[in-house]
Structure 1
Amino acid sequence: MKKIFILSLITICSLTRLAVAQTASVNGQIKSSSETLPGATVQLLHLPDSAAVSAQIADANGNFRFTNPKNGSYVVKAVMMGFQNTTSNSFSFTGQSITLPALVLKNSTKALKAVTINGQVPQLEQKSDRLVVNVEKMITTGDNALEVLKKAPGIKLDKDDNILYRNNGGVNIMIDGRMTYMSSSEVSNYLKSLPANAVSKIELIANPPANFDAAGTAGVINIIMKRNRLQGFNGTATATTVYGTYGKVFGGANLNYNTGKLSFYTRANGGHAASYNKLNLGRQIVTDLYSQENYWHPIGDNVSYTSGADYFATAKQTFGFMFRGYNSPQNAKVTSNSVTTNQLGQQIGSVYMLKPQYTNTRTYSFNVNYSYAIDTLGQKLSFDADYVRSSNINNETFSNIYFDAAGTRLGDTVKQRNDNPAKYNIRSLKVDYVWPFAKTWRAETGWKSSWVSTNNNARFENLTAGNWITDLRRSNHFLYDENINAGYLTFNKTVGKKWEFKAGVRAEQTVSTGNSITQQEVVGRNYWKLFPSLFAAYKINIDHQLNASYSGRISRPGYSNLNPFTFFSDPYTAIKGNPYLQPSFSKSWLMSYTYKSFQVLSLSYVRVNNAVSTIISQNDQTKESIATYQNLGNTSSLNATSAGSFNIKKWWNVTANLDASYDKVNTMTQGTPYRSERLSWSAGTDQTFTLLKNFRIQLSGYYYSPSISGLARTLSGSQIDAAINKTFMDKKATLSFKVRDIFFGNRYRSILQYNNVNTTWQNEWESRRFSLGFTYQFGNLKIKTARNRNTGATSEENRM
């Protein structure tokens, strides 16, 4: 693989040198009497007929560059609103690069009437390869990013707030084109810390092309944060207060400074919040009924921040860096009351648990990026390097008090404690090359290598005779190292104005070693796979479009899922990792029909082999239920979605989505065949009313029917929200009020029934909330410039 990597780099560099050697150009700059003019329209006109040969927009420094025109005589014409048109002196091009004197545009003497343009951006937009949710179209006061995400078509949350896309948990979450480098639960907690008004768009990519990592059986979700790419200094400040059962406050700022040569941005959000979660758990153990109520009351702070800069060294070369951090210290009071009754309904014993808990997740990531635009036709070479460091702290102290059938205390309080620190280091290098050729063809190729190391030293101790003694059954020191090398090649072809085709293949090699030092167990793997992808788009006319796609994907086990440590949340409930977990593989097909910005029908089918799920093993003697990560046989999901937005009246906009899914699970569970299948559906709508005096009202509601998720059968739920906002101060300030889950109908309820397991779950949380928010924009909001770049770290982060 190293030889292939070196050969690929040599090939890419050779292509670049060849391209540069064969490129000759006409260069110049557009200026006014006092400064350069970015955004001016520049035309290359052939003489003597003044026929337009090429046109482009001047870059952030007013520069332009026409590549490889035919030999002949030309002039360059510059046009910009508010200035008089200017044409250069004639010149001859003979195959050698030339630089023209700067074209100076004079101010126009004609006065322009004031023009007001009111544009309506649809809340849902169907692109050729993705569905885009424009969050800025929504009233999101008091919401966090996770709450907005779960309203997107095809998105659900499981009982632990893990994100499901097309009813599949194997989805990669990206932020601004970069992977989040967190586990599923950490991603959910991070999104909860981000205010929804910091999000600009959500991109749902069911079948990513080969230049994306192959990880993620369900596809990719890219969350694009707000970034004001305007010249000068500008920004947005937000403040929100929320009250449900407990109070919360959040605030943040998004600042940008752009000189044209240097674009700097920083974003910081923080908050203090108290909340709760109540779990009612019922288990049938032989003839006894075990009832448990767990109450979790966390109080914590969180802060997330991002800073970066783009430096436009020349018209062709751009350097960039970005730093992102996340910190979430939290103290929680956890209680559990477990009661066991016999078949006559008589209490035969109980246990009460008190567990103070301190957790903290710290994640820091750093990216450097270089981009070289070889020509104006789109030929481009780019490099990315990423480094991520993350640490998790989880300290708990258990106090367990046991009672007999009469409620009499049995013995002394049983005290235990758990210290479960985890550290992650991730490094990646990525190179990509884009080459348009033969007018209607486009090729892309690239290479990526990543290295991951984790260290988890979990220690569980019992207090015995005044001394803390290590419990070897519940302790484990686990190390994990992984290297993934990947290369890809894609070709894109347009046929006329109606057809577009794209085909690609990605090869990925995985080398990993899991080492349980405590259990003296080492598991190593070395495998590689090919992942093809195909796309076709047919544009019937300006309003109607058909799309079809296919891709093969992989979902590697999460790093902590491979750790054989047994983590107890209470005396009878635990979860355990599995070092022998295998990756799961999927095949995904999708077809869609779009009318304007409305996705009339999207039909997809996903089949997953070796899907990872938790299997509960119940010990009828000790009453312990331990959930272990295991590979299922296969799962499949046939999904149909219709979603879009439209206006009933000019002042009344409706966004609606309807989703239906037929899911099947076919596997062996602890040596016993298990089969489950079900048709489920969900529906949601947002009604937005634009009123006089800059008032806007939004009514939202959604419903989801009973469904299956892994081995669990989930029950129905619903939610109704209402919001009102007003803009003022020349539309720079917005004040909003929102009520969420008015009728308190959002719950998670599920049933597990297989072998000797017969369990019911019911989770409730602080879903009904009242929030008041204020947003203020300041600085220069008029001149647009700067770039929007995606950097190159991949799916390793989602598995931490």
Structure 2
Amino acid sequence: MKKATLLFCLLLCCSFFSLAQTLPISIQLTESNQSPIIGATIRIVNCADTTKILNSTTDTSGIARFNLVANQQYSMTATSVGYKTLTKGINATGRQSVLKFVMETDNQLLGDVVVTARKPLMQQEDDKTIVDPEPIANTSTSAYEIMEKIPGLFVDQDGNIYLSNSSPATIYINGREQKMSTADIAAILKSLPPNSIEKVEIMRTPSAKYDASGSGGVVNVILKKGVKIGFTGSANAGMNQGRYGNQFIGISLNNSSGKLTSFLNLNYSHRNTFEQIQTTRRFSADKELFQNAYTTFPGNQAYVGFGLGYEVNKKWELNYDARLSYNQNNSSSNNESIIRQLNSLEVLTNNINTTNSKGNNYAINQGINARYKLDTLGSEWTTDISYNYFNNQTDQIFNTAYVLPTVSAMGGTGDIGNNRNFVAAQTDVKYKLPHKITLETGLKATYQLFKSNTAYFTKIGEQQNIDISRTNQFNYNESIYAAYVQLSKTIGGFILKAGTRLENTNMNGHQLIPSDTSFKVKRTDLFPYIYLSQKLGKIAGYEMRAYLVHRKSITRPVYEYLNPSPRFIDQYLYEAGNPSLRPQFTNNFEANISIEDRPIFAIGRNYTQDIFTNVIYQNPDNPSIAYRTYDNLGRNKETYFRLLGAVPPIYRYFFVAGAQFNYNDYNGLYENAPLSFQRGSWTFFTFHQFKLDKLTNISLNGFFRLKGQQQFYELSNFGNLNLNINRQFLNKKLMITLSMNDVFYTNKNHFTINQGSISAFGFRQGDTRRVGLNVRYNFGFRKREERNNPFNFENLERSSN
């Protein structure tokens, strides 16, 4: 805490280097009927020094905010699709903090006019980073691939998304938390078409408005909704080929009719991939177990997204959105297991396990959102109610053939079924008070009901019996009630936001088969939050700001982590929960700096108590058998810093590059013995873009990780480099993209774990190197604003046919 206070004092001292006194100015754009114009681009140029340029976009109230030097003349230009360009001269005198302008509608259809906007790929907005996915979507086949390509995000081979620390981020869609497993969320993201995403919000330290459970941060995927630009749409199709092939096709439609807007997204894909894991585990002084598992995952996915928006009047707005995704997933696994004597290399046992799974699952998501504008300053009241249903059914056939010693084969079948109901209701009020004070407060209630019924049967010869060790049935329900309040105030170039969140947690698990292991958890916790922002000065005419954030969060064990019933993987490995698992708490402190709302540097530390993680223990009665479980291991102190920079555009070429370093220091107990584990890892990421001509672009993006870490597994160096080239045809309505993912096939790694009695190493790889083709056609009669210039290329062209 002393270090954080010292760092904050240093940031305040830097503020004295500001070159001139600035005044906060809000510019509000409206139609003639006083309706706000959302998403308009405002460009302000200092008349005395035209190299000093400020850019911003209007929010949902039609307001964009700037800090202008007092008593200097500026030229303001406002542009928006469907409106005539507005140019005005303004002067920051301090007498008027809000300047209101009315934009005239442009009824003339200019279907072939192209305006290149200055919109960054990433920009800082208070305590969150906003990512424009448009340039990445052009070279991706799903929303999941977009997550993999965003600079600074790391997606592991299991589908977890990491931001700044070793805990995975919480995934939201349209501001709603997805209470699902990692595999289920990954399936939904893979079914979402890439051009259905409007923006991605990255919150490494989310405010008190968000659930306290996001200790790894929050990634909020905002889907596109109907926009007021007439009837538009796009159709796309493509494929990519690795060892196995993927194919997809989809269509997206948007329509506006007066106060009613609507959208429809349809997408179908056929996917196939593989994963290979080789593991060697020494379980005694002279014996080791070697396993080589190869699994393929063919499947079909279908997605439908539909939504309606209705503007009741100038104050009320209603929105409804629904999504349905269906996944048919099959898998076929072949796992060879060998136990051998170390001194003589003699093979003691050799058997082959085969498992074939056929499953299908579907998810239904529905939500209603209402917004009421309390005034023209941005005060509003929003209410959101959503219902999610997820159903999964899987049939398995497994068999074990014994090569050495020769005994009769064993096999069996499994029937796995579970369903999940999740209801959330939330209401929030944001009110602009006098003296530049903003009050935010709200209530939220969530309820989740999860039911699972799994039946396994073993077969030896012609005899079939119930497998008691694998068969289980349980019900789980969870309810969380929350209330929060936070205040923010702007004082010159200084912004303070502070708040707290109160959460009441109720968890109730009831296992019916094979035994009653019921449990209940009831607790109430308080989670403070504070956010500070200060203008430091200017560099080459661009504003530099510093931020300091503190947040407390909780990670709750889900029922799967608590259920003590064993779940066998094979005869040498099984999984079991830990009913005594306690929640973990994390205190995060982060300081970061941005230039012109572009994040460039951050440093932070996480203090985690009662950290629980996935661990492996050996069975004391039979060391050849290991089991995976979760345990509280003590505490962890994680330090990280992140650096992001870009080279200014050199006519046709631009690139952005960054790096992040994480250092973990664990101290606690492992197998009732002292644990001390320290490890640091580097992640480098980059994005390049080169414009061959007016219609052709080449992009390159990738990451490389040095000395990676996943739980207590130490990973070798690995990375991923993707190359894409796209060209536009037919007056820029048709785009064809060629891509190659994981060009050098480096997204694979060796792993090692040496903790307690576990000593193991291995290798993991998948079907990551792929060559693909994507074709997209845009249609509709409208004025178009292309956003293919994410890194602030200057306007090189303005064409009209």
TM-score for the superposition, normalised by structure 2: 0.82
Aligned-partner Cα distance in 2 for 1:420–1:760: 31
Check whether the contact 1:141–1:773 (CA below 8 A) recurs between aligned residues: yes
Task: Give me the whole-angstrom Cα distance separating, in 2, the residues matched to 1:531 and 1:84.
Answer: 45
- Cα 1:631–1:324 change in 2 (3 A) is farther
Task: Give distance in 1, aligned partners of 2:334 and 2:545.
Answer: 55
SS in 1 for 2:190: helix
Alignment pair present for 1:513 and 2:511: no
1:408-487 to 2 correspondence within 5 Å?
409-410=406-407, 412-464=408-460, 466-487=462-483
Per the alignment, residue 771 of structure 1 pairs with 772
The equivalent residue for 2:321 is 322
Instruction: Identify the residue that residue 623 of structure 1 maps to in structure 2.
Output: 624
Q: Is the 8 A contact 1:352 1:400 kept in 2?
A: yes
Report the alpha carbon displacement of residue 214 of structure 1 after superposing the two structures with TM. 1.1
Tell me which moved more, 168-177 or 448-457: 168-177
Task: Name the SS of the counterpart of 1:578 in structure 2.
Answer: coil
CA, structure 1 residues 463+269, in 2 after alignment: closer, same or farther (shift >3 Å)? same
**Alpha carbons of structure 1 residues 370 and 126: separation in structure 2 relative to 1, 3 Å:** closer
1:663 partner letter: N
Whole-Å Cα distance in 2 between the matches of residues 335 and 581 of structure 1? Answer: 34
CA 1:440 to 1:628, structure 2 compared with 1: closer, same or farther past 3 Å?
Answer: same
Aligned letter for 2:422? I
- Aligned residue number for residue 267 of structure 2: 269
Partner of 1:138: 136
Alignment CA distance shift 1:636-1:154 (3 Å): farther
Superposed, which structure 2 residues align to 1:79-228 within 5 Å? 117-138=115-136, 140-227=138-225
Q: How does 1:330-479 map to 2 (within 5 A)?
A: 330-343=329-342, 344-404=344-404, 409-410=406-407, 412-464=408-460, 466-479=462-475
Deviation at 1:139, TM superposition (A): 6.7
Query: Counterpart of 2:662?
Result: 661
Corresponding position: 1:591 with 2:591? yes
The answer to whether structure 1 residue 253 and structure 2 residue 251 are counterparts is yes
Q: Shift of residue 336 of structure 1? A: 0.7
Which whole-Å CA distance do the structure 1 matches of 2:651 and 2:391 have between them? Answer: 51
Distance in 1 (alpha carbons) for counterparts of 2:309 and 2:135: 28
For 1:296 and 1:108, how far apart are their aligned partners in 2? 57
Gap change, CA 1:538 and 1:701, over 3 Å in 2: same
Residue 500, structure 1, aligned to residue 501, structure 2: no
Counterparts of 1:273 and 1:155, CA distance in 2: 24
Deviations 1:298-333 (A, max 9, x none): 211012222111111111112221112222111111
| Cα distance in 2 between the residues matched to 1:235 and 1:105 | 25
| Cα contact 2:225–2:262 (8 A) shared by 1 | no
Per the alignment, in what secondary structure is the counterpart of residue 561 of structure 1?
helix
The CA deviation at 1:158 is 3.7
Which has the larger displacement, 188-197 or 339-348?
Answer: 188-197
371-380 or 421-430: bigger deviation: 371-380
Change over 3 Å in CA distance of 1:117–1:197 after alignment to 2: closer
State the shift of 1:443 in Å: 0.6
Query: Residues 758 and 140 from structure 1, CA distance in 2 versus in 1: closer, same or farther, beyond 3 angstroms?
Result: farther
Partner residue of 2:242 out of 238, 241, 244: 244
Q: In the alignment, what sits opposite 1:563?
A: 563
> 1:227, CA displacement in angstroms?
4.4
Aligned-residue offset at 1:415:
1.0
Q: CA deviation at 1:107?
A: 9.6
Percent identity, please: 24
Q: Does 1:311 align with 2:310?
A: yes
8 Å contact 1:611–1:635 — kept in the other structure? yes
Tell me what 1:758 maps to. Answer: 759
Q: How far apart are 1:688 and its partner, in Å? A: 0.6
Q: Secondary structure at the match of 2:581?
A: coil
SS across alignment from 2:167: coil
Inter-CA distance 281–480: structure 2 relative to 1 (3 Å threshold) = same
Shift of 1:581: 2.4
1:458-496: CA deviation from partner (whole Å, max 9, x where unpaired): 222212563432222222211111111100111111112
Determine the C-alpha separation between the residues in 2 that align with 1:334 and 1:747. Answer: 19
Q: Any idea what SS the aligned residue of 1:138 has?
A: helix
Mapped partners of 2:668, 2:485: distance in 1: 35
Contact 1:381/1:432 (CA < 8 Å) preserved in 2?
yes
Alignment correspondent of 1:293: 292
Alignment partner, residue 71 of structure 1: none
Change in 2 beyond 3 A, CA 1:84/1:370? closer
Aligned residue for 1:522?
518
* C-alpha separation in 1, matches of 2:685 and 2:524: 41
The answer (yes or no) to whether the contact 2:470–2:566 under 8 Å persists in 1 is: yes
**Distance change in 2, residues 1:108/1:317 (3 Å):** closer
- How far does residue 356 in structure 1 lie from its aligned partner after superposition? 0.9
The aligned counterpart of 1:722 is: 723
Corresponding position of 2:636? 635
The one-letter amino acid of 2:431's match is: W
Instruction: Read off the aligned partner of 1:662 and give its amino acid letter.
Output: Y
Q: Is the 8 A contact 1:123 1:644 kept in 2?
A: no
Distance 1:303 1:83, change over 3 A: closer
Within a 5 Å distance, the mapping from 1:606-755 to structure 2 comes to 606-619=606-619, 621=622, 623-755=624-756
Change (3 A) 1:81 1:427: closer
Alpha-carbon distance change, 701 to 434 in structure 1, aligned in 2, over 3 angstroms: closer
Work out the CA distance in 2 between the residues paired with 1:780 and 1:585.
53
User: Secondary structure in 2 aligned to 1:506?
Assistant: strand
Distance 1:375 1:244 in 2: 55
- Can you list the C-alpha shifts for 1:134-168, whole angstroms capped at 9, x where unaligned? 22133752454333323435433344232222232
SS at match of 1:328: strand
Question: What's the CA shift string for 1:598-622, capped at 9, x where partnerless?
Answer: 4331111112222331111223736
Contact 1:84–1:106 at 8 Å: present in 2 too? no
Letter in 1 for 2:406: R
**Distance in structure 1 (CA, Å) of the matches to 2:430 and 2:105:** 38
Give the residue type in structure 1 aligned to 2:599.
Q
Q: CA–CA distance in 1 between the matches of 2:632 and 2:267?
A: 38
Identify the residue that residue 572 of structure 2 maps to in structure 1.
Answer: 572
Question: C-alpha separation between the residues in 1 aligned to 2:140 and 2:449?
Answer: 37
Cα drift, residue 402 of structure 1: 1.2
Partner residue, 1:95: none
Q: Is the 8 A contact 2:283 2:623 kept in 1?
A: no
- Go from structure 1 to structure 2 and tell me whether the alpha carbon gap of 1:358 and 1:667 turns closer, same or farther (over 3 Å shift): farther
- Report the residue type matching 1:502 in the other structure: K
The answer to whether the 8 A contact 2:191-2:325 is kept is no
Aligned match of 2:231: 233
What one-letter code is carried by the residue in structure 2 that aligns with 1:630? D
Shift of the 458–84 alpha-carbon distance from structure 1 to 2, 3 Å rule, reads closer
- Contact in 2 for aligned 1:83/1:108 (Cα 8 Å): no
> TM-score if structure 1 supplies the norm length?
0.82
Tell me if the contact between 1:698 and 1:724 (Cα under 8 Å) persists in the aligned partners.
Answer: yes
Structure 1 pair 151/40, CA: closer, same or farther in 2 (3 Å)?
closer
One-letter identity of the residue aligned with 1:475? T
In the alignment, is the contact (CA less than 8 A) between 2:315 and 2:372 conserved in 1? yes
- Separation in 1, partners of 2:692, 2:593: 33
Task: Confirm or deny: 8 A CA contact 2:113 2:784 kept in the other structure.
Answer: no
2:136–2:146 contact (8 Å) kept in structure 1: no
Aligned CA distance change for structure 1 residues 540 and 415 (closer, same or farther; 3 Å):
same
Cα distance in 2 for partners of 1:516, 1:107 equals: 64
**Aligned equivalents of 2:491 and 2:59: distance in 1?**
29
2:84/2:103 contact within 8 Å kept: no
- Provide the rounded CA distance (Å) in 2 between the counterparts of 1:176 and 1:570: 40
